[in-house]
Structure 1
Amino acid sequence: MLTHVWGLLTHPKTEWEHIEEEHESVRHLYAHHVLILAAVPVISAFIGTTQIGWGFGGSQPFIKLDYLSAFLAGIAFYIAILAAVILVGHVIRTMAKRFRKPPSSRRCVIFAGYIATPMFLSGLVAVYPLVWLCLLAGTIGLCISAYLLYLGIPYFLGISSEEGFIVSSTTLAVGVLVLEAMLSVTVILWGYGEVLLPWLFRF
């Protein structure tokens, strides 16, 4: 489990080669990587939201949820993260279809799952949920993910550097939009979850 995390952060070129040699399935990717790492921001946010509360660093937090509301928000947030990996994978697949030898959907989703690793890990800071700190960590995670994306996409998807640059740029732009959408969902879930989520889960 999580055998590629350290390699992607310290020597990504070599790690991309190892990942490619494994011929991994999407099911294996989720079972041994995505499902585990996606829980990092969820669990961190649950702890931070129930024990400390979201704030800007002042004495009083402006959002603090009870355990049930935070649990329901966490479930919804977790599902959104898992779906986002599939979405980005399909975006990569769509962008690469124009090329001579487009990669399979499996390879694209696996690639998306691994480039999201820094974003997953940046969610650790939600244990102490200062808004500015979480935004800073998210930005750093996004930059590292972008580096993995630009570095790995020509090799991992079997396309040229020029083609990889086009796919990388488009994927990064869509990824930023997905991140912004997820941040908006996060604000709604963790900010208004105490009111909305118990009502939604009744259905």
Structure 2
Amino acid sequence: MLLHHVFGLFTHPDAEWAQIRREHEKPLRLYVAYVLILAAIGPVCAYISTAHFGWTIGAGQQVIRLAPDSALQLSVLTYLAMLVGVFALGYAINWMARTYGALEEDDAANGVALAAYSCTPLFLAGFALLYPEPWFNALVFLAAAGYGAYLMYDGLPIVMDIPRERAIMYAGALLTVALVILVSTRVGSVILWNYGFGPVFVS
């Protein structure tokens, strides 16, 4: 099972990336056995905390909760956005491969693998949503994004088989793509909210 890579990416990432390259899993299997499972952590935890625990802004303030239907709707949309985001980043990695001297594949297996495994810290950070305090969640996800960026940089020369010097520019370009994907999801959220998919709060 591909989930055994989770521990290795935190303890010995270089060796784990080498093993991931040797496995060369097809994107569909990688999605079914890894991404679909880990990407669900954040949305499930967010649903539980926002619909049942609630959160406050400031001391002594009223607890804010989302209506269960609204929380479920937003969690499902977030989950779908995560799946699309990982897929888009993986294909961007593959699309840019030839520019940086790597092999461009027809099925983008290495690119999708690199994107999926680099997002592992962000997937696991979803557990922090069980404690729905904005400042705490922001710190956890900031740390997870930082380690995810490091994993991307560390894995690029190994998985894509390029010199480490080229990986710096490659990683910078991919960071830009990731930011574009992030902004696109934010814009998509605003559009969906205008069509009635916005949060519904309960006291």
Match of 1:113 in 2: 116
2:42/2:127 contact within 8 Å kept? yes
Task: Select between 91-100 and 42-51 the one with higher mean Cα deviation.
Answer: 91-100
Counterparts in 2 of 1:67 and 1:169: CA distance versus 1, 3 Å: same
Q: CA RMSD in A?
A: 2.5
Number of paired residues?
Answer: 195
- Alpha-carbon contact 1:57-1:130 (below 8 Å) kept: no
| Post-superposition CA distance 1:31-69 (Å, at most 9, x none) | 111001100100110011011224435333574212111
Q: Distance in 1 between matches of 2:82 and 2:53?
A: 23
Distance 2:62 2:140 in 1: 19
- 1:135 aligns with 138
Shift of 1:23: 1.9
Deviation at 1:186, TM superposition (A): 6.8
What's the CA shift for 1:93? 2.0
Residue aligning to 1:158: 161
Contact 1:125 1:134 in 2 (8 A): yes
In structure 1, list runs of 5 or more residues that go unmatched.
199-203
Shift of 1:27: 1.2
1:170–1:101 distance in 2 versus 1, CA, 3 Å: closer
Q: Hey, what's the Cα distance between the residues in 2 that align with 1:188 and 1:138?
A: 24
1:174 alignment partner in structure 2: 177
Change (3 A) 1:54 1:179: farther
TM-aligned CA distance change 1:9 to 1:185, over 3 Å:
farther
Identity %: 35
Q: Which residue of 1 aligns with 2:152?
A: 149
Letter in 1 for 2:38: L
How far residue 124 of structure 1 moved from its aligned partner, in angstroms, is: 1.0
Equivalence for 2:201: none
For residues 62 and 161 of structure 2, what CA distance do their matches in structure 1 show?
49
- The answer to which of 165-174 and 75-84 deviates more is 165-174
Q: Which runs of 5+ in 2 are unaligned?
A: 199-203
Deviations 1:16-36 (A, max 9, x none): 111111121111111111001
Letter of the structure 2 residue corresponding to residue 108 of structure 1: G
Q: Given the two structures, how large is their TM-score scaled by the length of structure 2?
A: 0.85
The 1:52–1:58 alpha-carbon spacing in structure 2 relative to 1, beyond 3 Å, is: farther
Query: Is the alpha carbon distance of 1:61 and 1:17 closer, same or farther for their aligned partners in structure 2, counting shifts above 3 Å?
Result: farther
